[in-house]
Chains A and B, each alone.
Chain A
Amino acid sequence: MCCMCQIVPERVLKRLAADRSYSEEQRKNFADTIKIDTELRRLRTQAARLTRVAGLMAEAPTVAPAPAITVYDCNHGQTLPGAQILNPATSTDQTARHVFSETKSVEAFYAQVFGRNSIDNAGMTMISSIHYGVRYNNAFWNGSQMTYGDGDGSIFLDFSSANDVIGHELTHGVTQYSLQLNYTNDAGGLNESLSDCFGSMFRQWEANQTVKQADWLIGKDIMGPSARDDGYTCLRDMADPDAKHCLSPQPTKYSQVRPGMDPHLSSGPPNLAFCTIAKAVGGNSWDQVGQVWYRSMTGFGPAPNLKMTAFADRTRAVAAELYPNDTALARAVDAGWKKVGL
């Protein structure tokens, strides 16, 4: 960058300042001009730097703040969202405190592990409603918020008491804002499976469990006394989808998936594939395999009617892209999907 842009060049001014044919006062003026020009050059350089920095700051992406987390009390009615609990973190309602802290933890899980800012990756407020209905045996995502029933106390306990259930419901929101999967046929099964995979990963992440330490059960903590007395330990088992200890056993092969099948059934094969792959790779599920699943879910835009074969192939490609030198991972991903016929 040229900084010598004054009308009389510095070397000329120096020669004039030393030329004794000029009076002492004139020579002093020439010397002062050199000093002033030097300072002006410094100021111009500094101004240019400031301009560049300001330009860079203007172009820098603004970081969205962490999402707000709100909790509402349906007070056993079925009108959503219910009455807002103003300070859920310090509420006298244990369910409100738990839902607030676990939702905050899911937010931290997605932020720290996957770099995602809330459900929509843009800081969307996370809304939960608790005490929905009377002895209500379910939890659901309604397109804009999570909702939890208290359970009947016999077959089921409070649905919000299980962190994998909270992770499952919140992930339905993440899917809605990424792949936008439909809720029928292959896409429906993938939709449910992603919620189980990320719900289970969240549960393992909170407990700092390796894939070998994890039990891979979905809904273990909501099993009520009568269900446990009958030998049921979970809703679903990702490691053994058709096991007798599941309240809702699932197919284990893609060939068993039928058109129109409920997504909670057709999610069995992709659940088993994820668990098999994660176990083969070892370590923490959310590290490599979780990253492959997350990128496959969020890195390609909406695909409402995505087939399971296409998703399986996508994870194979993403594994090779994210970890090009990891042949063990590539083999594990391929073998896991082949085990379920994909």
Chain B
Amino acid sequence: MGTVKVEKIGGLAGYGLPGSRLKSSGETATSALSPADQAWVEASFQKPPRSQEAGNERDTHRYRITRTKDGRDQTIEVPEAQVPHALKACVTDKLL
């Protein structure tokens, strides 16, 4: 079923921004996700959630989620509050 790559972006500390010394990333096998989380991934790639800018959340993270389908990478960015715990938990924070 493939792999889902996850990267945490932004927040108060500015993870993953150009020039940032902070990176947070990881990956998980799609088969390791619960059926509900697998369904969330599929639905999110079909119809990406609204952008973070529309709400009043400030300093929250965004998650960049990438999967390979039919030999091509597909990437979406999702506000932190909408990402399933299993996906958020697969990233590791690192200093570059």
Which residues of A are at the interface with B, using a C-beta cutoff of 8 A? 78, 137-144, 152, 155-156, 159, 165, 168-169, 172, 176, 182-184, 188, 191, 195, 219, 226-227, 230, 232, 235, 242, 247-250, 262, 264-265
Contacts and interface: CB of A to CB of B under 8 A. Distances in A.
Interface stretch (B30-38, B55-63, B66-74): B55-63
A129 to B, nearest CB: 13
Contacts of B60: 138, 140, 142
Contact of A248 (B17, B57, B93): B17
Given A226-B95, A227-B95, A247-B21, A141 B59 contact: yes
Nearest to B81: A142
Nearest to A152: B93
Given A168-B12, A235-B14, A247-B22, A143 B53 contact: no
B12 to A, nearest CB: 5
Contacts, number: 93
21 contacts: A137-B93, A140-B11, A140-B12, A140-B57, A141-B58, A142-B81, A144-B56, A155-B93, A155-B95, A183-B52, A183-B53, A219-B12, A230-B95, A242-B19, A247-B13, A247-B20, A247-B22, A248-B13, A248-B14, A248-B21, A265-B17
Interface of B: 9-14, 17-22, 52-53, 55-61, 81, 85, 93, 95
Contact of B17 (A78, A226, A227, A262): A262
Would you call the interface of chain B mostly helix, strand, loop, or mixed? loop
B28 to A, nearest CB: 17
A142 B56 contact: yes
Contact of B12 (A139, A142, A184): A139
B3 to A, nearest CB: 24
A140 B55 CA distance: 13
Cβ-closest 8 pairs across A and B: A143-B56, A248-B14, A140-B59, A172-B58, A264-B14, A141-B58, A138-B11, A184-B53
A150 to B, nearest CB: 13
Would you call the interface of chain A mostly helix, strand, loop, or mixed? loop
Given A142-B57, A264-B12, 20 more contacts: A137-B93, A138-B11, A139-B12, A140-B12, A142-B81, A143-B55, A152-B93, A156-B13, A168-B12, A172-B58, A219-B12, A230-B21, A247-B13, A247-B20, A248-B20, A249-B20, A250-B19, A264-B17, A265-B14, A265-B17
A249 B10 CA distance: 13
A262 B21 CA distance: 15
A143 B13 CA distance: 19
Contacts of B81: 142
Contacts of A143: 55-57
Contacts of A78: 85
A169 to B, nearest CB: 7
Contacts of B59: 138-141, 168-169, 172
B19 A249 contact: yes
Contact of A155 (B9, B11, B22, B52): B22
Contacts of A227: 95
